[in-house]
């Protein structure tokens, strides 16, 4: 049986994670939770890209061996990701033996098919980007070095036509369209063979080239193969998952859109099914990164806005493909403005009215007449529910999904205000509205689970359900007493 497979990039463990890393994983996590909510089988891979010069240098700076360094950072990444309720099926580490064996098997396959040959290279190399530069940089620095070395090449030039045909036939492979155009631009400029090894005497921190212990694999080849090693390539089981949907940031598009599918085609494996390319989180117009010192403390953020609050903000505020500003005022607008004032507060008002008028006991559904005057809210809720299916297939719909949630909670508030629920004198009528809104609230909370899992769980437990599941969606609410109110989000200050 085919299992839908989504991957995130694997991160360089040269420093602690930041919000950009959390974001890539969040898109995948939201998708996986949506798929599971829809009863589908889904698989998510993520992890660390532990080889290469950048990581070796970071370890040296900290006074550790590369292995000690990556072991420590792997634990740290996992603990931060867990704090934001990010989940996965496999945590890849490229220093694991299984990954190494998989990468070597992939290399051998490329070699067998005649796509790898030995040659020499001389040119400028960027250590930060782990990449040779096409021309001499205007300014030299410690990160840009001249190199002359014996190396292995990958015959990319021989695959130019195949790659072009693939993208012409499968324009939907790259999301959004602007990135697709960029990919076609790369191809139209012509594709040259590229270097896929490094001499071991220069860089020992890598996977050995099979059959030549004087070279290690180029870290990007090693890293890209993680998408296969995560699903047990070369063992046949990988075919149950492949092809994958890859989530990545715009800075690593060329590696994923050109090198990777070309290597896959060369190894007789179908290219990935989709690349979802997101933009950057910016702090005052500069890309957030640990090295530039503009990253925001993830513990502090969580403390202030809760994991679910930040998850909601990240998905709401970035339209996939565009860059977005990471500013406190925008977080406040999302967490206080939407979640506290429109979502949590309405629920607390409902509970207050149920307490006041009905002794904290929600009236029985069978005794109530149907509310007919909130048709627009019902329509929006139905549209939102329909979108869950789309999200469970297409992670790139997360941002639209949150917009629909916001439409629903705004309309729920409008309706509540318009009908002045708190002032209705007729007890039967008021009870009917209270039930209606409480039920809408429960449904919205189930549907928002992929984005805000902790909140959804809390709400469902409050209503007496063990877990968040679509099987509870149409189940009438029990008429038990409502006592301990959920905490929700801090009210607008
Ligand atoms: N190790 C490679 C990826 C190999 S995947 C086979 C790498 N690692 S990275 O740690 O530098 O970056 C990983 C991902 O984080 C990239 O997709 C990158 O775009 C993303 N981000 C890093 N900083 C970011 C922001 N400020 N905003 C959003 N995402 C950004 O590249």
Q: What is the pLDDT of residues 286-323, one digit of tens each?
A: 999 977 888 889 999 999 999 999 999 999 999 999 99
Q: What is the CA 338 to chain-centroid distance, rounded? A: 22
Q: Give the pLDDT score at 14.
A: 87
Does residue 436 line the site of ligand 1, with CB under 6 A? no
Q: Whose CA is nearest to atom 6 of ligand 1?
A: 224
What would the pLDDT profile of 22-33 be if each residue is shown by its tens digit?
A: 999 999 999 999
Confidence (pTM): 0.95
Q: Ligand 1: which atom is nearest the Cα of residue 250? A: 19
Q: Residue 246 belongs to what H/E stretch? A: strand 245-249
Q: Give the pLDDT score at 282.
A: 97
d(CA 372, ligand 1 centre) in Å: 50
Stronger pLDDT, 337 or 140, i.e. the higher one: 337
Does residue 6 line the site of ligand 1, with CB under 6 A? no
What would the pLDDT profile of 20-64 be if each residue is shown by its tens digit?
A: 999 999 999 999 999 999 999 999 999 999 999 889 999 999 999
Phi/psi for 467 (5° steps) reads -145, 170
Stronger pLDDT, 356 or 479, i.e. the higher one: 356
Q: Give the pLDDT score at 245.
A: 98
Choose among 10, 13, 16, 12: nearest CA to 28: 10
Q: Residue 486 belongs to what H/E stretch? A: none
- Is the pLDDT at 369 greater than 80? The verdict is yes
Does residue 218 line the site of ligand 1, with CB under 6 A? no
Q: Ligand 1: which atom is nearest the Cα of residue 279? A: 28
Q: Give the pLDDT score at 154.
A: 98
What would the pLDDT profile of 464-474 be if each residue is shown by its tens digit?
A: 999 999 999 99
Stronger pLDDT, 478 or 177, i.e. the higher one: 177
d(CA 32, ligand 1 centre) in Å: 20
Q: Give the pLDDT score at 221.
A: 98
Give the start-end residues of each E strand in 39-115: 42-48, 90-93
**169 pairs with which residues across the strands?**
none
pLDDT mean over 139-168: 92
3-state secondary structure of 218: coil
Task: Classify the C-alpha dihedral 255-256-261-264 as positive or negative.
Answer: positive
Helix, strand, coil shares of the chain as percentages rounded to 5?
Answer: 50, 15, 30
Q: Which one of 10, 21, 245, 247 would you pick to mutate in the ligand 1 pocket, going by the greatest count of ligand atoms within 8 A of its CB?
A: 21
Q: Ligand 1: which atom is nearest the Cα of residue 248? A: 17
Work out the mean pLDDT of the chain and round it to a whole number: 94
What would the pLDDT profile of 78-96 be if each residue is shown by its tens digit?
A: 999 999 999 999 999 999 9
Q: Give the pLDDT score at 64.
A: 94
Q: What's the pLDDT band for 484 if we cut at 50, 70, 90?
A: confident
Does residue 371 line the site of ligand 1, with CB under 6 A? no
Q: Give the pLDDT score at 213.
A: 95
State the DSSP code for 11: E
Neighbours of 145 (CB within 10 A): 13
Q: Give the pLDDT score at 139.
A: 74
Would you state the structure tokens that stand for residue 216, as one six-digit string?
């290690």
Question: Whole-angstrom Cα distance, residue 480 to residue 86?
Answer: 33
Q: Whose CA is nearest to atom 16 of ligand 1?
A: 249
Pairing of strands 90-93, 4-11: unpaired
d(CA 380, ligand 1 centre) in Å: 36
Contact criterion met (CB below 8 Å) for 35 and 392: yes
Q: Which one of 53, 251, 279 would you pick to mutate in the ligand 1 pocket, going by the greatest count of ligand atoms within 8 A of its CB?
A: 251
Does residue 129 line the site of ligand 1, with CB under 6 A? no
- Is the pLDDT at 492 greater than 60? The verdict is no
Does residue 21 line the site of ligand 1, with CB under 6 A? yes
Contact criterion met (CB below 8 Å) for 451 and 30: yes
Q: Give percent of the chain above pLDDT 90.
A: 83
Angle value at C-alpha 412, between 408 and 417, nearest 5 degrees: 150
d(CA 55, ligand 1 centre) in Å: 14
Q: What's the pLDDT band for 491 if we cut at 50, 70, 90?
A: low
d(CA 14, ligand 1 centre) in Å: 12
Does residue 49 line the site of ligand 1, with CB under 6 A? yes
d(CA 8, ligand 1 centre) in Å: 9
- Is the pLDDT at 346 greater than 60? The verdict is yes
- Is the pLDDT at 147 greater than 80? The verdict is yes
Q: Give the pLDDT score at 490.
A: 64
Give the start-end residues of each E strand in 25-162: 42-48, 90-93, 116-126, 131-132, 144-154
Q: What's the pLDDT band for 203 if we cut at 50, 70, 90?
A: confident
Q: Give percent of the chain above pLDDT 70.
A: 99
Does residue 10 line the site of ligand 1, with CB under 6 A? yes
Termini Cα distance of the chain: 51
Q: Give the pLDDT score at 290.
A: 79
- Is the pLDDT at 167 greater than 80? The verdict is yes
Q: Ligand 1: which atom is nearest the Cα of residue 21? A: 15
- Is the pLDDT at 136 greater than 80? The verdict is no
Would you state the structure tokens that stand for residue 390, as one six-digit string?
């789309």
What would the pLDDT profile of 411-426 be if each residue is shown by its tens digit?
A: 999 999 999 999 999 9
Q: Whose CA is nearest to atom 2 of ligand 1?
A: 11
Would you state the structure tokens that stand for residue 25, as one six-digit string?
């994983």
3-state secondary structure of 52: coil
- For tokens 């990556």, the residue is 70
Q: What is the CA 444 to chain-centroid distance, rounded? A: 22
Does residue 20 line the site of ligand 1, with CB under 6 A? yes
Q: Whose CA is nearest to atom 24 of ligand 1?
A: 20
How deeply is 260 buried, as exposed, middle or buried, from its count of CB atoms within 10 A (0-12, 13-18, 19+)? buried
Choose among 293, 275, 259, 291: nearest CA to 127: 291
Contact criterion met (CB below 8 Å) for 55 and 74: no
Neighbours of 167 (CB within 10 A): 20
């Amino acid at each position: 049986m085919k299992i839908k497979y989504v991957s995130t990039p694997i991160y360089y463990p040269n420093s602690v994670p930041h919000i950009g890393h959390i974001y890539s994983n969040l898109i995948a996590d939201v998708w996986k939770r949506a798929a599971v909510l829809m009863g589908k089988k889904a698989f998510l891979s993520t992890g660390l890209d532990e080889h290469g010069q950048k990581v070796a240098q970071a370890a040296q700076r900290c006074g550790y061996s590369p292995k000690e360094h990556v072991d420590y950072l792997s634990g740290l990444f996992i603990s931060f990701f867990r704090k934001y309720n990010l989940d996965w099926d496999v945590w890849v580490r490229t220093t694991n033996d299984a990954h190494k064996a998989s990468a070597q098997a992939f290399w051998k396959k490329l070699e067998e098919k005649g796509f790898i040959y030995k040659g020499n290279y001389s040119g400028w190399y960027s250590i930060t980007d782990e990449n040779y530069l096409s021309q001499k940089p205007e300014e030299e620095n410690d990160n840009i070095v001249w190199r002359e070395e014996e190396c292995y090449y990958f015959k990319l030039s021989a695959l130019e036509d195949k790659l072009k045909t693939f993208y012409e036939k499968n324009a939907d492979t790259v999301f959004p369209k602007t990135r697709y155009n960029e990919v076609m631009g790369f191809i139209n400029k012509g594709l040259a063979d590229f270097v896929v090894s490094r001499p071991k005497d220069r860089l020992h921190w890598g996977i050995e080239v099979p059959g030549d212990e004087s070279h290690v694999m180029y870290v990007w080849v090693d890293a890209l193969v993680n998408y296969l090693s995560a699903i047990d390539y070369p063992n046949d089981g990988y075919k149950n998952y492949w092809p994958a949907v890859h989530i990545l940031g715009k800075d690593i598009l060329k590696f994923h859109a050109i090198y990777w599918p070309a290597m896959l085609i060369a190894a007789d494996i179908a290219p990935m099914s989709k690349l979802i390319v997101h933009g950057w989180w910016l702090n005052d117009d500069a890309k957030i990164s640990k090295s530039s010192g503009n990253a925001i403390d993830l513990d502090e953020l969580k403390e202030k806005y809760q994991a679910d609050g930040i998850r909601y903000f990240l998905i709401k505020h970035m339209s996939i493909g565009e860059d977005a500003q990471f500013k406190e005022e925008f977080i406040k607008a999302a967490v206080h403005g939407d979640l506290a004032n429109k979502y949590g507060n309405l629920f607390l008002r409902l509970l207050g009215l149920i307490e006041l008028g009905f002794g904290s006991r929600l009236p029985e559904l069978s005794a109530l007449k149907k509310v007919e005057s909130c048709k627009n809210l019902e329509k929006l809720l139905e549209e939102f529910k329909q979108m869950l299916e789309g999200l469970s297939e297409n992670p790139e719909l997360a941002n639209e999904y949150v917009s629909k949630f916001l439409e629903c909670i705004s309309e729920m508030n409008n309706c509540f205000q318009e009908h002045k629920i708190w002032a209705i004198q007729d007890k039967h009528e008021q009870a009917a509205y209270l039930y209606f809104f409480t039920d809408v609230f429960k449904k919205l909370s189930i549907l928002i689970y992929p984005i805000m899992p902790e909140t959804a769980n809390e709400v469902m437990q409050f209503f007496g359900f063990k877990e968040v599941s679509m099987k509870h969606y149409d189940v009438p609410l029990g008429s038990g007493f409502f006592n301990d109110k959920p905490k929700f989000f801090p009210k607008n200050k």
